[in-house]
Amino acid sequence: MPRWTNNAEKRLRNAAAELFEAHGYEAVTVTAIAERAGLTRRTFFRYFPDKREVLFPQTDEIGEAVAQAINIQPKDADAGVLVGEIITVLVRAGTVITSDRQAQRKRQTLIQSSPELRERSRTKLATTAATIESALTTRGEPDAQIIAAVAVDLLRTAYQATLEGDDNASFAEHVKRARTALRSFDSYSRLPAPVSDP
Amino acid sequence: MPRWTNNAEKRLRNAAAELFEAHGYEAVTVTAIAERAGLTRRTFFRYFPDKREVLFPQTDEIGEAVAQAINIQPKDADAGVLVGEIITVLVRAGTVITSDRQAQRKRQTLIQSSPELRERSRTKLATTAATIESALTTRGEPDAQIIAAVAVDLLRTAYQATLEGDDNASFAEHVKRARTALRSFDSYSRLPAPVSDP
């Protein structure tokens, strides 16, 4: 039964991807997706709350996986260690997700084609950031909000760069590159200090 | 005429703030806002495309001010200099916006009370990031996306911290603190390297 269950979800996602590609996101109904997958509308709604959600299968899991990695760290782990764990989980997830670049490129094109999909994408990433922030706050990390926000930026930036880059660099390499770019925020402290006198 | 024009916009915003506080965001109509301001619905829609927008008066301007600051930098300015300029503009804008903490706290409570306002807030910040990213990309900055995303995170984090903090620290101090927290993303490179072997 669980096997069939997972299979149903996958069939629905594949059917949706094929129909979206053929007809565009707006024109495809949940009924059409279910029919193509050989399932019912009722089954569709057992797996996805709405049509949009079929395009965001893993996003919630990423936030939860990161939160879990934070929770199991020793109590005295500092922000550097926690960030290291966060990045490790993000790189693992991003590497799996971007392993099929062609499918992900189609997904990205679809999301960009629809305001409601762009909105859902932003909401999903905001939820991921909130999940990570909550796990960090529970540990008493004072910089929970900015760390969680930047972690999700790294995920999003590396995801897009992996799909759009023409050099076949890996997801992990794009994360590393984006992390290095963060240094420019710190180097600013060497300039005269307009921050203290705006 | 321009003086009267600006005054109308301000009257509409004040009327909206008062009505939202008294009755909640959902219950207040554009007609009611216009009436309270002594103006017509038509005048309202000359300044704001919809009811939500009345709560986001400055957001677009911030992105444009940052883009302008980037555009006027010398061609050989490196990422550190550009980031310095971005932070300077953000601190200036954030300091002005948070000068009336009580009004901004009410605004934040309202935004959190409504899914459609939370959505608009995310869209606004995404637009700000896109404006900054575009200005950086035009200069050939390869890390435009992550720099723009993190700049907007600094704005949002410092804004919330300034309103929620009980120590009366300034917006500039909160930006500085959040920038310092970014170091933990770099310190991770001193750990064993799981990034290259996810």
Q: What is the pLDDT of residues B59-106, one digit of tens each?
A: 889 999 999 999 999 988 999 999 999 999 999 999 999 999 988 999
C-alpha B121/C-alpha B93 separation (Å) is 17
Tokens for A13, please give them.
Answer: 């996602």
pLDDT digits (tens, 9 = 90+) for B42-65: 999 999 999 999 999 878 899 999
C-alpha B188/C-alpha A87 separation (Å) is 9
CB < 8 Å to A193, chain B:
none
Of A156, A182, A194, the CB nearest to B185: A182
B16 min Cα distance to partner chain A (Å): 25
Given pLDDT bands bounded at 50, 70 and 90, which one contains residue A198? very low
- Indicate which of B143, B195, B196 best probes the interface with A, i.e. most A CBs within 10 Å of its own CB: B195
**Can you give the pLDDT at residue B189?**
53
C-alpha B166/C-alpha A22 separation (Å) is 55
**Chain B contact for A164 (CB, 8 A cutoff):** no
CB < 8 Å to B193, chain A:
none
CB < 8 Å to B184, chain A:
78-80, 82-83, 143, 147
**Chain A contact for B90 (CB, 8 A cutoff):** no
Round the average pLDDT of chain A to a whole number and report it. Answer: 89
Given pLDDT bands bounded at 50, 70 and 90, which one contains residue A188? low
CA-nearest of B3, B7, B29 to B16 is: B29
CB atoms under 10 Å from CB of A100, counted, come to 11
Given pLDDT bands bounded at 50, 70 and 90, which one contains residue B166? confident
CB atoms under 10 Å from CB of B164, counted, come to 11
C-alpha B95/C-alpha B62 separation (Å) is 12
CB < 8 Å to B172, chain A:
195-196, 198
- Burial of residue A89, with CB atoms counted within 10 A of its CB: 0-12 exposed, 13-18 middle, 19 or more buried: buried
> What is the DSSP secondary-structure string of A124-158?
HHHHHHHHHHHHHHHTT-TTHHHHHHHHHHHHHHH
For chain B positions 126-145, those within 8 Å of chain A (CB to CB) are 126, 143, 145
Q: What percent of chain B has pLDDT over 70?
A: 91
Lowest mean per-residue pLDDT among A22-26, A45-49, B56-60, B151-155: B56-60
Cβ-Cβ contacts under 8 Å for B76 (sequence gap 6 or more): none
Given pLDDT bands bounded at 50, 70 and 90, which one contains residue B5? low
CB < 8 Å to A176, chain B:
195
Amino acid at the residue A95: T
**Chain B contact for A181 (CB, 8 A cutoff):** yes
CB < 8 Å to A179, chain B:
185-186, 188-189
More reliable by pLDDT, B155 or A4: B155
CB B136, CB B148: distance < 8 Å: yes
Q: Could you say which of 3.50.50.60, 1.10.10.10, 3.40.50.1100, 1.10.10.60 is the CATH number of the domain covering B2-53?
A: 1.10.10.60
H-assigned helices in chain A: 2-23, 30-36, 41-47, 59-71, 79-97, 101-113, 115-138, 144-164, 171-181, 183-187
Kindly report, as residue ranges, where domains of CATH 1.10.10.60 are found in chain B.
2-53
Interchain pair A185, B92: CB under 8 A? no
Tokens 């009336």 sit on residue: B100
Helical packing angle, A171-181 and A144-164, nearest 10°:
130
Given pLDDT bands bounded at 50, 70 and 90, which one contains residue A59? confident
CATH number of A2-51: 1.10.10.60
pLDDT digits (tens, 9 = 90+) for A65-100: 999 999 999 988 999 999 999 999 999 999 999 999
CA atoms within 13 A on the CB side of A113: 15
Stretch (H or E) spanning B142: none
Tokens for B62, please give them.
Answer: 């911030």
Domain boundaries A56-187, CATH class:
mainly alpha
DSSP B29: -
Kindly report, as residue ranges, where domains of CATH 1.10.10.60 are found in chain A.
2-51
Of B150, B157, B191, the CB nearest to A182: B150
**Chain B contact for A103 (CB, 8 A cutoff):** no
DSSP B78: -
B166 min Cα distance to partner chain A (Å): 14
Kindly report, as residue ranges, where domains of CATH 1.10.357.10 are found in chain B.
56-187
User: For the CA atoms of B97, B99, B100, B104, what is the dihedral angle to 10 degrees?
Assistant: 40
